[in-house]
Amino acid sequence: MLEPEFGIAAIYRIIKKTGAERVGDDAAQELRVALEEIGERVARQAVEFSSHAGRKTVKATDIKLAVKSLKL
């Protein structure tokens, strides 16, 4: 298994910011996996958009379009 990109402490903070008093280790791990998968989908789509535009650089507009196109 690959090393996760997101630190687990940041995941706990995200969940707690939404109002959770306590966070289970398994819940934090599941959210980390889900966020990584979503991030990879968005990035992959953004790369396609930038490539289609003839650019090698992924721009913020590519990310915004990718999020919209993936309905996230």
Digit-coded pLDDT (tens) for 25-62 = 999 999 999 999 999 999 999 999 999 999 999 999 99
Domain boundaries, the chain: 8-69
Helices (H), 1-72: 8-17, 25-52, 60-69
Give pTM, 2 decimals. 0.87
- CA dist., res. 56 & res. 46, Å (int): 11
- CA dist., res. 27 & res. 16, Å (int): 12
Residues 18-26, mean pLDDT to the nearest whole number: 97
The CATH architecture to which 8-69 belongs is Orthogonal Bundle (1.10)
